[in-house]
Amino acid sequence: MQLLIYTPLFSPRIQYIFEYLFNDYLQIKCQVTVSVSEFTSFEGVKFSYAPQPLGDELWVWQHPLLLEETVEPQLIKLFKFRDSSAFFGTDDTRSLVPFDLFAASFYLMTRYEEYLSEQSDHFGRFQPKNSLAVQAGFIGKPLVNQWIIELMKLLFHTETFSDFSPRKFTYFPTYDIDHAFKFKHKGFYVNLGGMVKDIFHGEFGLLIDRVLTLLRLRRDAYDTYRFLFMLNKRFKMIPYYFILCAAKRGKYDRNLPITNKSFRRLLIRLEQDGYIGLHPSFAAGKDLSLIALEKKSLEAVLHHFLNASRQHYLLLRMPDTYRALEEVGIGHEYTMGYAGYPGFRASVCTPYSFFDLLRNVETDMIVNPLIYMDGSFNDYMNLSPEEAVIEIKRLIDEVRAVRGEFLSLWHNNTLSDKGHWRGWRAVYYSTLEYAFRD
């Protein structure tokens, strides 16, 4: 299947969004031409993308955003389209859809609004409450994917996805290893200090758990790796493990040091089960120059180059973080999600190239959108395990409907099924069964 699009002026932004929507996401052949004669003589499926149509051809109205080269405040007027929202609209009824879905998709995917916002939370992150998706209520929908599917249905006069795309739904599990173990392998003095604190604060249950674990009479609470390996085998998944290896221990960076022999043995075992990526520390999220040091230290243990990364605490600043990661050779990035809101930060659910708006250029770095992390439901939204299952299944249905990639984030410690996380291991297992059902 081949599609031809005419546009009078071509730009890096137009090339970028067409490449993603048609070639990467829909996986169909799409050609763009600025030649009127080539367009009019073409006998296959085609449409024009311009401020005005050439004649009576299929036409999508063009907003000026994709011809601009700078980042400027945009007038956003929301309206209803099908069962969801849209913006960059037109009153011209000749347009196939009543808005420029390409400019709107570009605006959402590039995180245009994050370049313009100076407000951040106490960690320095863009606040989701300031995002268009949260304010308009479409954070729970892969809007970009839904828009292009609606356009394709109009072009091909069909309601069947397979009539215009071979894409299939996939599930991709990822795990952040922020605390490899709760008590084990931390050394005599660290655990002695912990015992003193347990007694001082009256945490006698924690004290007993610590002592029994150190005496090897109880499995370390965060040693959930056998469970992860079982899941990955059961559902035939090859996960990514993102490893925190901070150069210096701090309030938010408390993993074992990379020099710890037991930690190194764990890394070897994890790599036998899946892929390993870098998890830049909280400190590196603030001081981006530390990323190179941490990456080098982890590579020295693994004896190979690392190509993937996710920011600790999802610390992401546009475009500085991505630029810093690119400079050290990271090609795949997995931070694009919100800590407090499950859903679609970039309103899209398949990997796409990072577009640097300040340089007005597409880069080689691939952004892998994160759909949810475990803490979103338990720590931020205060949902029960049963409520979380319902919400995760709803998100799976959204991604399945557009045949996207469902990317989840769990931590080894949250799957302990103890304390604050009691009952959450079942959440993960039951939602995996739902995702992989026939």
The CATH number linked to 354 is 3.20.20.370
User: 3-class SS at 115?
Assistant: helix
Q: Is residue 194 part of a domain?
A: no
The pTM score is: 0.95
Cβ burial 239-267 (10 Å sphere, 16+ → b, else e): bbbbbbbbbeeeebbebbebebeebeebb
Q: Supply the DSSP symbol for 99.
A: B
Please tell me whether residues 258 and 302 are part of one structural domain: yes
Please tell me whether residues 174 and 154 are part of one structural domain: no
Q: Which amino acid is at 114?
A: E
End-to-end CA distance of the chain: 28
Q: State the Cα angle at 363 between 360 and 367, rounded to 5°.
A: 115
Domain of 151, in residue numbers: 2-163
Please tell me whether residues 174 and 159 are part of one structural domain: no
Q: Supply the DSSP symbol for 94.
A: T
* Separation between Cα atoms, residue 164 and residue 121, nearest integer Å: 42
Q: Which of 163, 193, 212 is the last residue of a domain?
A: 163
* Separation between Cα atoms, residue 399 and residue 305, nearest integer Å: 32
Taking phi over 0 as left and psi of -120 to 50 as alpha, with beta for the rest, 218 belongs to beta
Please tell me whether residues 153 and 273 are part of one structural domain: no
Please tell me whether residues 156 and 266 are part of one structural domain: no
φ, ψ of residue 74 to 5 degrees: the values are -110, 145
pLDDT for the residue numbered 206: 72
The domain tally of the chain equals 2
Q: Is residue 196 part of a domain?
A: no
Q: Is residue 372 part of a domain?
A: yes
Cβ burial 85-100 (10 Å sphere, 16+ → b, else e): bbbbbbeeeebbbbbb
The sheet that has 29-33: what strands, in order across it?
Answer: 29-33, 2-6, 45-50, 59-61
pLDDT for the residue numbered 290: 95
Closest listed residue to residue 176, CA positions, set 419, 373, 436, 434: 373
Contact residues for 31 (Cβ-Cβ < 8 A; gap 6+): 2, 3, 4, 5
H/E element, 187: none
The greatest distance separating any two alpha carbons of the chain, rounded to the nearest whole angstrom, comes to 83
Q: Is residue 363 part of a domain?
A: yes
User: 3-class SS at 32?
Assistant: strand
Tell me how far the alpha carbon of residue 238 is from its chain's centroid: 17
Please tell me whether residues 232 and 127 are part of one structural domain: no
> CB neighbours (10 Å) of residue 120?
13
Q: Is residue 391 part of a domain?
A: yes
Please tell me whether residues 152 and 229 are part of one structural domain: no
Please tell me whether residues 112 and 176 are part of one structural domain: no
Please tell me whether residues 225 and 131 are part of one structural domain: no
Q: Is residue 189 part of a domain?
A: no
Q: State the Cα angle at 47 between 169 and 16, rounded to 5°.
A: 55
Low-confidence ranges of the chain (pLDDT < 70): 1, 188-189, 191-193, 205, 207
* Separation between Cα atoms, residue 348 and residue 133, nearest integer Å: 11
Please tell me whether residues 249 and 342 are part of one structural domain: yes
Q: Is residue 136 part of a domain?
A: yes
Please tell me whether residues 359 and 389 are part of one structural domain: yes
Taking 3-state DSSP, the helix, strand and coil percentages for the chain, each rounded to the nearest 5, stand at 40, 15, 40
Closest listed residue to residue 370, CA positions, set 386, 349, 400, 392: 349
* Separation between Cα atoms, residue 413 and residue 179, nearest integer Å: 7
Please tell me whether residues 338 and 430 are part of one structural domain: yes
* Separation between Cα atoms, residue 194 and residue 172, nearest integer Å: 37
Contact 48, 62 (CB under 8 A): no
Q: Is residue 215 part of a domain?
A: no
CA–CA distances in Å: residue 321 to residues 74, 286, 311: 24, 9, 9
Contact residues for 274 (Cβ-Cβ < 8 A; gap 6+): 232, 237, 238, 239, 240, 241
CA trace torsion 364, 370, 371, 375 (10° rounding): -170
Contact residues for 196 (Cβ-Cβ < 8 A; gap 6+): none
